[in-house]
Amino acid sequence: MKRLIILSLLTMLVLSASGQKYMTKSGFISFVSNTPMEDIKGDNNQVAGVLDISTGDMVFQMLIKSFHFEKTLLEEHFNENYMESEKFPKASFKGKITNLASVDFNKNGSYEVLVEGDLTIRDVAKKMSVKGILEVVTGGVNANAKFTITPEDFNIKIPSVVRENIAKTIEVTVAMKYAPV
Amino acid sequence: MKQAFAVFLLILLPTGLHAQDDLMDLLNENAKPETVFTTATFKSTRIMNGHSIERMPMGQLDFRISHRFGTINSGAYEFFGLDQSNMHFGLEYGITDWVMVGIGRGSYEKTFDGFVKFSVLRQSSGAKTMPVSVSVFSSIAVNSLKWTDTERTNYFSSRLSYASQILIARKISQTFSFQLTPSYVHRNLVPTELDPNDLFAVGAGGRMKLTKRISLNAEYYYIINADNTYMSQPIYNPLSVGVDIETGGHVFQLIFTNSLGMIEKAFIGETAGQWIHGDIHFGFNISRVFTLQSKPGKPKAN
């Protein structure tokens, strides 16, 4: 009986313990396409993300319409023709830090991490493995990473007329500043 | 004890898989409803001849060339109208995101024209809903033909015409948009006393997207107070049908219409042709957008 009570209490403790979560609603993600024909850069300053430091789970979510470009016409074409934001309004990433043990969240400093998970754009999920830097600072955690993606992987159709205007691989930059929830 | 421990571990297992979804839910439960403004109701600032609610965003310049050939029923000698040509070119600029101005010159009656278009309301959904986009359009046209009768006193003001419109449009679905355009045209000088200086019309136009970059457009203006029984020249309601093709920074509009003129005063009050008689002009509009000035606060391409 005593064992049962202890067991139940321990189980409840684990299930209810949410772990320390860090969140942001104004994270930054940008992507760049550099070609001899044209340079395209889109910035999104409204990326939402949560980092659970006890499990290493990281999730990101953003509206495609929140990516802004220098040329408004380009932004309109990005949403209407390429990303079809009416059909696929959001992009998301669900992943986990694989080397969580090497990060000490109690000590300020920079830690190299490897995050593995699924990046979903236009309802196409692709397994990604991204190297990044987690910076533990007083009152929060910052995450920075750079990786590349290929438009064709996410069913983004680029007509041959403008194929040379868009790079074959797009470089994505992530900069998030998390605060404890 | 070992058994209990094993059970304990088994209970722990499913919590790991749901953790990421729980985090996603955390993001969504705190999300405030946002207002989403409708974009790209039409592919360019014109439906066919007449204006659409679309505007030039701030700092962007639209160079437009419009061309109307002669009527298809001109016969083989005139190469079905292709031998005759009427053109209009214009420069249109977005001063701010909600004010656009334009100037142009057309060969029809050698007319110079200028306009201003204000975007008053934008269609939106989400936190704030607005069912339609509304714009207000106002233009002046100056006909620069030489006076036919130099004996009498000719006033410069006789060359002027004014057109004003309220554009009300709704993007009904991703493929279909519709616009109603109540219009008022005032001509300072008309041929005879029986011709009205003021014309009232209601325009209706729409577009249906066929593919991501091609749409089928149609436009019709019904002139309310035109009575061909007493006017010096019969005028007919302009009907235009065509296709919009968008490629990168250009929009090509291929048009079949019974109007020769390409500005409001010309196609609303001076359309002399009728579709059923084959007085159909083939024509096109080409629009090329240049970014003259990027928006403040927007990223600079590096």
- Locate the domains of chain A by residue range: 19-180
Question: What architecture (CATH level 2) is domain A19-180?
Answer: Beta Barrel (2.40)
Mean pLDDT over residues A134-148, rounded?
92
Tell me the residues of chain A between 119 and 158 that have a Cβ less than 8 Å away from chain B.
Answer: none
> Do residues B179 and B206 touch, judged by C-beta distance below 8 A?
yes
Give the whole-number percent of chain B exceeding pLDDT 90. 67
Nearest to B136 by CA among B166, B114, B162, B93: B166
Tell me the residue length of chain A.
181
Flag whether pLDDT at B140 surpasses 60: yes
Give contacts of B213 with chain A, Cβ < 8 Å.
81, 159
Q: Do A49 and B27 touch (CB under 8 A)?
A: yes
Which among B7, B20, B27 has CB closest to A48?
B27
Flag whether pLDDT at A8 surpasses 50: yes
- What is the average pLDDT score of chain B? 89
For A81-135, give the DSSP string: IIS-TTT--EEEEEEEETTGGG--TTS-EEEEEEEEEEEEETTEEEEEEEEEEEE
Instruction: Write the pLDDT tens digit of every residue in B196-252.
Output: 999 999 999 999 999 888 999 999 999 999 888 888 889 999 999 999 998 877 889
For the record, the structure tokens of A117 come out as: 């998970």
For residue A148, the distance in angstroms to the closest alpha carbon of chain B comes to 17
Instruction: Write the pLDDT tens digit of every residue in B159-184.
Output: 999 999 999 999 999 899 999 999 99
Look at residue B302 in the predicted model and tell me its pLDDT.
36
Alpha-carbon distance B246 to B254, whole Å? 11
Q: Do A52 and B23 touch (CB under 8 A)?
A: yes
Q: Mutate one of B7, B21, B27 to test the A interface: name it (highest A CB count within 10 A).
A: B27
Give contacts of B20 with chain A, Cβ < 8 Å.
57, 59, 94-96, 117
Mean pLDDT over residues B100-107, rounded?
96
Give contacts of A72 with chain B, Cβ < 8 Å.
57-58, 60, 291, 295
Determine the longest span between alpha carbons in chain B, in angstroms: 119
- pLDDT band for B29, please (50, 70, 90 cuts): confident
Flag whether pLDDT at A14 surpasses 80: no
The structural domains of chain B, ordered by start, are: 36-291 (2.40.160.40)
For residue B57, the distance in angstroms to the closest alpha carbon of chain A comes to 7
Place of tokens 């009416």: A86
Q: What Rg, from alpha-carbon coordinates, does chain B have?
A: 26
B173 contacts: CB under 8 Å, gap ≥ 6: none
Alpha-carbon distance A52 to A47, whole Å? 17
Look at residue B301 in the predicted model and tell me its pLDDT.
43
Flag whether pLDDT at B8 surpasses 70: no
Look at residue B28 in the predicted model and tell me its pLDDT.
79
Between vectors from CA A57 to CA A52 and to CA A62, what angle results, nearest 5°? 95
Look at residue A153 in the predicted model and tell me its pLDDT.
92
Q: What are phi and psi of A130, to 5 degrees?
A: -120, 130
Look at residue A72 in the predicted model and tell me its pLDDT.
81
Flag whether pLDDT at B190 surpasses 60: yes
> Do residues B57 and B81 touch, judged by C-beta distance below 8 A?
no
CA torsion sign, B82 to B68 to B217 to A69? positive
Look at residue B77 in the predicted model and tell me its pLDDT.
92
Alpha-carbon distance B253 to B256, whole Å? 10
Helix/strand/coil for A181: coil
Instruction: Write the pLDDT tens digit of every residue in B31-86.
Output: 677 788 888 899 889 999 999 999 898 999 999 999 999 999 998 999 999 999 99
Alpha-carbon distance B273 to B57, whole Å? 36
Within 10 Å of residue B67's Cβ, how many Cβ atoms?
A: 18
Look at residue B226 in the predicted model and tell me its pLDDT.
85
Alpha-carbon distance B287 to B91, whole Å? 10
Alpha-carbon distance A90 to A110, whole Å? 30
Give contacts of A162 with chain B, Cβ < 8 Å.
247-248
Instruction: State the Cα torsion B262-B267-B269-B271 to the nearest 10°.
Output: 120
Q: What are phi and psi of A151, to 5 degrees?
A: -55, -40
Give contacts of B174 with chain A, Cβ < 8 Å.
86-87
Exposure string (b/e) for B142-159, b if CB count within 10 Å is 16 or more? bbeeeeeeeeeeeeeeeb
> Do residues B74 and B297 touch, judged by C-beta distance below 8 A?
no
In this structure, of A17-26, A34-43, A154-163, B273-282, the range with the lowest mean pLDDT score is A17-26
ipTM over the 0.95 cut-off: no
For residue A42, the distance in angstroms to the closest alpha carbon of chain B comes to 7
Flag whether pLDDT at A61 surpasses 60: yes
For residue B228, the distance in angstroms to the closest alpha carbon of chain A comes to 44
Alpha-carbon distance B287 to B89, whole Å? 10
> Do residues B279 and B236 touch, judged by C-beta distance below 8 A?
no
In this structure, of A10-19, A73-82, B279-288, the range with the lowest mean pLDDT score is A10-19
Flag whether pLDDT at A17 surpasses 80: no
Does the beta carbon of B8 lie under 8 angstroms from any beta carbon of chain A?
Answer: yes
Flag whether pLDDT at B4 surpasses 80: no
